[in-house]
Structure 1
Amino acid sequence: MDINAIRKDFPILNQKVHGNPLIYLDTSATSQSPVQVTDAMSEYYNEYNSNVHRGVHTLGTKATDGYEQARMKVRSFINAKRYEEIIFTRGTTAAINLVARSFGDVNISEGDEIVVTEMEHHANIVPWQELAKRKNAKLVFIPLEEDGTIKLENVEAVMTDKTKIVAVTHVSNVLGTINDIKSIAEIAHKHDAYITVDGAQSVPHMSVDVQDLDVDFYAFSGHKMLGPTGIGVLYGKAEILDKMEPIEYGGDMIDFVDLRESTWTDLPVKFEAGTPMIAEAIGLSAAIDYINEVGADEILSYEQELVKYAYDKMSEIEGIEIYGPTEERAGLITFNLDGVHPHDLATALDSDGVAVRAGHHCAQPLMKFLGVSSTARASFYLYNTKDEIDFFIDSLKRTKEFFTHEF
């Protein structure tokens, strides 16, 4: 992988922040986009900006082709069986809410159980909390190990004949834990339960095969995988999606409208009410092309190299606490420094041009499990370098010295 060539595709990295070269270590929140993505979106707006599915003129046809080709590209990228199984949404949050509302409201009854974990992003907890309230169902949590991992025997232990939905993240946005989704799906299906997976932190960084994983639903976002904001994907097995009702109405998702009732069109459009995210889908398509060109396995290998390099160096800093597993972690490190509030730490790092995330990372139940109110997080991607990590480590040490030095 030619890191120098890759970095040339990201002009946003060629800037200074507070007089220092930008070191962007916040990809887990939002990745940067290469020029290939922004150029593709600009081309749409400049050359064939038009609505999709409705017109027969040249621009409308070209826009429709670009939009539907993006869907086919996503289908291939995650190895879905059919293109109808790819639903474009506003992002991971919207995708999970669609499942909770459409599938959940019909299939969950009073006394049923929804199994989740304490490591989930709020987007994969709150929709299930609200579903449980609406249906008087019960939330059940898979216990976490001290290092933030989950044991398959504990997954099995919480399952009962009342379990109807299992909702779990593929990769924790805080701990970097990589969950064994294929095995969890097998356990869920053994109990006749359905599994929904938050793939926001996995799809950008590793090969994902939804057929091999045998998941029922899988959600992810474009803006975490080199693409634009405002678009995400819900994958669902066609036989399940066919039976689900839409939760938004109007526009292209209809088949026939009478004065007092309407019918819906076929998958996938029945879940895509109104004018869709056309430019964003085209941008996502270009992002997938970029990832495919570099190679998902190459990206994962390089990230693993970076995170190990950073983890080893950070572990040498006195007074640092790193959360999550020591082995088999994704390309992010969440941590705290004794005597330094995470927001103060992030502010100090920013003065050196280093961008990290600080706060509860939309994972407040997990913060409670860890016994903290907030943490700092550095996350890595294909455009980061070991030299950047060295500067980040030096900045950490300077920050620690400043805040803990006795004047």
Structure 2
Amino acid sequence: MNCLHHLPRTSALPLQSLSGYSGKPSCVATSLAMVKGTALSRRSIVLAEAASGSVPSTADETSKIDDKSETYSHDMTAAMGAVLTYRHELGMNYNFIRPDLIVGSCLQTPADVDKLRAIGVKTIFCLQEDSDLEYFGVDITAIREYANSFDDIQHVRAKIRDFDAFDLRFRLPAVVSKLHKAVTRNGGVTYIHCTAGLGRAPATAVAYMYWIQGYTLNGAHELLLSKRSCFPKLEAIKSATADILTGTIRKPVKLKWHSTGCSTVEISGLDIGWGQRIPLSYSEEEGLWILQRDLPEGRYEYKYIVDGEWMCNEHELITSPNQDGHVNNYIEVFDETPDEIRSRLTSDEPDLSSDERAKIRQFLESFPDED
């Protein structure tokens, strides 16, 4: 998975707070693009408590998984903008959002399939990438083979990169299309899960309720939060909705980093996720490190890596700190003459007309099937 799991497993968090940085920065960043800033922050504490599952067989195994859970929670808190906690060692946990829709954490053993069959689940919808599964040592092949050995339940996968709002935005149409087709085919109760069930799975459930089941976006979100403490990225759902109905418009963005002695400058986050980096090129003519990139309209968080050190410059737009003090730089890319539909669908109170909902359903039903 291209996410924070692949960053060095140390106590030092790459997405560090500016509170730990003293003195004037050695490098000053400036960004020139079609951008505007509106500092947005939502602070919440989310703790996923186990509803069922098996515990490791030895104290040593328990300790190792506990350490992995702590690191995963640490990374998730930094990337998602909320204090989020997941304890893999406590087993699978979930909540009914509707009588026919459950959001939860990942299955860990084939025995979890039996638990879901017992509560009427007909479709297990997994959003994890292979590296998610490898991190916690989950044998997805055994789980899938066991689930698909029954006639009354199906295991389906549609991968989304963890901790990555941009990937979520652009994967949601394909993912919800696959989910809608599975639900139509199998009926019954659907279990949507990612790793912790706090980000990707809730967002997918909200998008499905919004696009297919007739809810307003805010109504689906409120229902979700009344049933499960989680942190779906609503901005990604809004942008994905507008992308379906209006198309995707890209705008040129030019990021600049002024250096008095840096040897390498990279950016992480933005539209590539936190597990990848884009190098900036040094311009002798301008005396600056430069990144030129075409980005779809939307809001993007990012951070510079200067000579290997993750930095958030106080002279750029900065997100409000979450409860652990983590912040990122961000930009908003927008059209100077915005489309009325996109403006409405990305507002604080978005809703779909019956015609728009019918167009989205038709789009999803005709979307090419993924393997």
Normalised TM-score (structure 2): 0.31
Q: Which has the higher strand share?
A: 2
Q: Which has the higher helix share?
A: 1
Q: Which structure's CA Rg is the greater one?
A: 1
